[in-house]
Amino acid sequence: MEITPVSATQPFQQVAKIQVRLCRIWKTKYQNDENEVKSVDCVMVDVQGTGIRAMIELRIEPLFMPKLIPSTFYEIQEIVAVRNRKFNIVVSHEAMLEFRRNIKVKENEYDGPAMPIHFFNFIKYENIAASNDGQLKDVIEYLEGIQQVQRHSCKRNQIEDKMEFILMDDRKNKARVTLWASYVRTFDQQILQAQSHPIIVVFTSVKPTDFQGGNIPSLNNSNSTMILFNPEIRLVAHYKQIFSSSTGIKILPSLPSPNAGVGGIQHLQKKSLEELLLLNPNDNQV
């Protein structure tokens, strides 16, 4: 059975056989309900270095999750290709793959040419503000500091958590990534203590936001964002050399916030979580 390259995969076809490495896998949750999982998603890459997104519906998740391990090489037969999404695109490809109950997934030993372990869609600093093409972006930066959890007013009398990461690229340009809601509550800061310095961080699937000329570029998490510290890619060594004199990260205190509860923030404009993810955090702090 002939192997189909990922680059040749088209929407609305059943792919007889592909051979790919699983790069990362995550559970996509509904934007307004952090306890309800929408689907299981993953990014895969083939020997040509072409990436593609795949989705597993929850009803068949138990059939495949025990088999799927990041960095592992797989042969997958009879998987279905559908049209990729128009917005919040994780991987730039015309198609995405859907796991169905009857497909065959087999772990293989790989002994061919050097093959990527990760697949990223990195955006350059100068392109952050201009990026409004519906695609989510990945960033790799030196982690300069973290601003601790703050509170932000939302619609329906909700107050959401936010947490900001101060980053620097390899030309010492600063940027900021803001985590919202469940991403803040599930982030374990103890992970940072186990990292070697300087800490280089990759944020996947983030959304560039508008920012004014005097502010640094800003990005927000999406419901597909993952955070990788010091991943095993060549760019990390490049960044570690540039920031080799770093001995730690700055922990910045939270900005003063109103008392807990709705009463202290009634003067603020209420926003939904979807609207919050499009805000520039520099201009919207409590």
Instruction: State how far the Cα of 23 lies from the Cα of 97, in Å rounded to an integer.
Output: 14
* Ranges assigned E (strand) in the chain: 13-30, 33-45, 51-56, 73-83, 95-98, 104-107, 137-153, 159-168, 174-180, 200-209, 218-221, 227-229, 250-252
Domains (ranges, CATH) in the chain? Answer: 6-107 (2.40.50.140), 125-283 (2.40.50.140)
Task: Quickly tell me which residue has 């952090």 as its tokens.
Answer: 34
Closest residue by Cα to residue 34 from 174, 187, 146, 138: 187
Looking up tokens 């502010």, which residue turns up?
215
**Nearest CA among 151, 159, 157 for reference residue 255:** 151
- Residue 90's Cα: distance from chain center in Å? 8
CA distance 145 to 153: 24
- The whole-angstrom separation of Cα 261 and Cα 255 is 17
- pLDDT score, position 277: 46
Kind of pairing between the strands at 73-83 and 95-98: antiparallel
Q: Is 63 helix (H, G, I), strand (E, B) or coil?
A: helix
Query: Do the Cβ atoms of 46 and 19 come closer than 8 Å?
Result: yes
Phi then psi for residue 40, to 5 deg, are -105, 130
Residue in this structure with the two tokens 């499009």, named with its chain if needed = 278
- Decide: helix, strand or coil at residue 185: helix
State residue 126's pLDDT score: 79
pLDDT at 143: 96
Q: Is 215 exposed, middle or buried, given 0-12, 13-18 or 19+ CB atoms closer than 10 A?
A: middle
pLDDT at residue 235, rounded to an integer = 94
Question: Residue 180: its pLDDT value, please?
Answer: 87
Per-residue pLDDT of the chain (286 residues; tens, 9 = 90+): 799 999 999 999 999 999 999 999 999 887 666 678 889 999 999 999 999 999 999 999 999 999 999 999 999 999 999 999 888 899 999 999 999 999 999 998 888 888 889 999 898 887 776 666 778 999 999 999 998 888 877 666 678 888 899 999 999 999 999 998 888 888 888 888 889 899 999 999 998 886 544 578 889 999 899 999 999 999 999 999 999 998 888 888 765 554 444 443 343 344 444 444 444 444 444 3
Q: Minimal CA–CA distance to 176: which of 133, 213, 206?
A: 206
Question: What are the φ and ψ backbone dihedral angles of 283, each rounded to 5 degrees?
Answer: -100, 0
Coil/strand/helix, residue 238: helix
Residue 241: strand, helix, or coil:
helix
Can you give the pLDDT at residue 21? 96
Q: What is the DSSP string of 158-169?
A: -EEEEEEEEEE-
Q: How far is CA 70 from CA 16, 159, 190, in A?
A: 23, 35, 22
